[in-house]
Amino acid sequence: MATRKSKRIAALAVIGSGMLAVTACGSPTQNAAAPTANKTTGKVTITWAAGTITGNGLRKTLIAAFEKAYPNIKVTIIPEASSTDTTRATLSTQISGGSQTPDVYLGDVIWPGQFGSEQLAVPLNKHLPNSFFSRFAPGLVQGASYKGNVYGAPFFMDAGFLYYRKDLLAEAGLPVPKTWEQLKSESLTLENKHLVKYGFVWEGSSYEGLTCDWMEYLADAGGQVFNAAGQPTMNSPAATHALTFMRSLITSGASPKAVTTFQEPQAMNAFDQGQAAFLRNWDYAYSNSQTPGQSRVVGKVGVVPLPTFAGHGNMGYACIGGWDMYINPHSQHMAQDLTFINFMTGQYAQNILATKFSMIPTNGMVQNDPKVKAMNPVLAIVPKTRLVSRPSQTPYYAKVSQAIYSNLNAALAGETSVKQALNNANAQVKSATSSSSL
C-alpha cells in the first residue's frame, strides 16, 4: 500500500495536469476557461453519490464537462435518497462497513463532525495544498472542518437572506432596515398603517430551521454555542440578548404568534401571499416569490443581507446551508477523486452551476464575477454576505441542535422564560457532548 505522502504526490500530479496548476512552491491557480483534456493514461471509473437536491440536469452537465476535460476518468452516478437523514444513515453504514463505493459523495454541510470523527471521510487537507482552500468564500472551509482537518470541499452553498416588500416600504416612506431593531420598528409601523397583516415572518418552529435562525441572531450579538475551550455557552449575555429580542418580535406583534409553528414553507407562503412585509429565508425564496400564479408579490420583492443588532456593524450574519463533496476513505481512486473535486469546485464548473442552474457557487472568484451577479438579485448580494456555520464541529451535532431548537421554541412560545430556556439548552448541550473532546 502506498504511503500517505506518495498518495498525495500522485494526487497532485494528476490534478496538476488539469485545472489546478501546481507551481514549484505548491500553490494552485485557477482557470475560468474550459479546461483542456488531461494527459493521464489508463481509463478509470469513479462513482459519485449525488442526491436529487442537485437535479439530474446539473449532474449530467457537470459530468459531461468533466469527462471532456478528463477523458480517461469516467464518472458514474449513484443516486442518493431525497431525505438527508436517510442518505447520511446509508452512507455511514456502507462506508463503516468498508465499502469502496461511492468514491466521492455529496453530503450536508453539518456532517464534518460525525463523518470526521467516525473516519467516514478523507481529511482533504492531508492531500491538497493549503492554497487549494483559498478559492472558497470566507467561512465555508471552517464550516467543513473538524478538529483542524477539512473533510468537505464546499460544492454549492445557501444562506439566509432578508426579503422585503419594495412597494410597502415605498408607500410608507421607510428605508430597507439594516438592524434588527429597525426591522422590528418598521414591521409595527406597516401593521399599524394597515398596509400588511404581518410584519416579519421567519422559521420559529421546533426543528433544524430554528437552529439556523438562532445562529444568525447569536452571532450578531457576539455569541457562540461553544467557547474556545469547547464548553457550551448557550446562557451567555449575548445569547440572552439574542433570544430576548427574538421573543420580543412575537410579544410586540412584529411577528405573528403562529411563527413558532412556521418552517420554511409556511413562512415563505405567508410572504408570497402578500401577508408579510419581511421574510427571512433561503435563496430559493426569491424565485418562489417571482412565480406567476403562485405568488401575489411578483415584481414587488427586494432582497438584502440579513440585518444585525444596532452597534454591531453594518451587516448581519447568515447561516451556512448547502452541500459539500467528501471522499470515501476506502476509495481506490484517490488521485481521480481529488481531480474530480478540484474540477467541481473550480471556476469553470462553478460558473456553470451559477449561470445555468442559478445555484450559489462556493468559489469566491465566481461569486464576484459580474456576469454571475447579474443573474438575479440573490446572486448579486452573495459576496456581501457574512457567513456563520452551525455548531456542527462535533459528532453529536444532531443532539446539540435538538437541545437548541426545542428549548428556544419553548421560550418563543412563552412556555418558559428566556433564562430558563437557555439554562436548559446549555445543560442539554453539555450532556450531549460530554463524551466528546470538542
Position 13 scores a pLDDT of 39
Say if pTM beats, i.e. exceeds, 0.75.
yes
Of 216, 201, 308, the closest CA to residue 255 belongs to 201
Task: Give me the sign of the Cα torsion angle 232, 431, 141, 218.
Answer: negative
Residue recorded with cell 400564479: 293
Contacts 24+ apart (CB under 8 A), 410-416: 410/206, 411/243, 411/247, 412/204, 412/246, 412/247, 412/250, 412/259, 412/260, 413/260, 414/247, 414/250, 414/251
Distance from C-alpha of 223 to C-alpha of 226, rounded to nearest angstrom: 9
Of 73, 72, 70, 92, the closest CA to residue 81 belongs to 92
Q: Tell me which amino acid residue 388 is.
A: V
DSSP for 67-96, written as a single string: HHH-TTEEEEEEEE-SSHHHHHHHHHHHHH
Distance from C-alpha of 229 to C-alpha of 316, rounded to nearest angstrom: 25
Of 133, 30, 57, the closest CA to residue 359 belongs to 57
Distance from C-alpha of 212 to C-alpha of 205, rounded to nearest angstrom: 11
111 φ/ψ angles, rounded to the nearest 5 degrees: -90, -20
Question: CB–CB of 392/143 below 8 Å?
Answer: yes
Domains 4-151+322-383 and 159-315+391-432 share a fold: yes
Q: Tell me which amino acid residue 129 is.
A: P
Distance from C-alpha of 421 to C-alpha of 125, rounded to nearest angstrom: 39
Q: 188: part of which helix (H) or strand (E)? A: helix 180-192
Per DSSP, helices labelled H in 70-179 are: 84-96, 112-117, 140-143, 166-172
Position 82 scores a pLDDT of 84
- Paired with 79 in beta bridges are 50
Vertex 74, ends 73 and 75: CA angle to 5°? 120
Distance from C-alpha of 113 to C-alpha of 199, rounded to nearest angstrom: 37
Q: Which fold has domain 159-315+391-432?
A: D-Maltodextrin-Binding Protein; domain 2 (3.40.190)
Residue recorded with cell 452516478: 77
Q: 268: part of which helix (H) or strand (E)? A: helix 264-272
Report domain extents, the chain: 4-151+322-383, 159-315+391-432
Among 3.65.10.10, 3.40.190.10, 3.30.70.1890, 3.20.20.100, name the CATH number for the domain at 4-151+322-383: 3.40.190.10
**Residue 263 DSSP SS3:** coil
Give CA torsion, residues 284, 290, 295, 297, to 10 deg.
120
Per residue of the chain (438 residues), give pLDDT as tens.
333 333 343 444 344 433 343 322 233 445 566 665 555 557 999 999 998 767 779 999 999 999 999 999 999 999 888 888 899 999 999 999 999 999 999 999 999 999 999 999 999 999 999 999 999 999 999 999 999 999 999 999 999 999 999 999 999 999 999 999 999 999 999 999 999 999 999 999 999 999 999 999 999 999 999 999 999 999 999 999 999 999 999 999 999 999 999 999 999 999 999 999 999 999 999 999 999 999 999 999 999 999 999 999 889 999 999 999 999 999 999 999 999 999 999 999 999 999 999 999 999 999 999 999 999 999 999 999 999 999 998 999 999 999 999 999 999 999 999 999 999 999 999 999 986 444
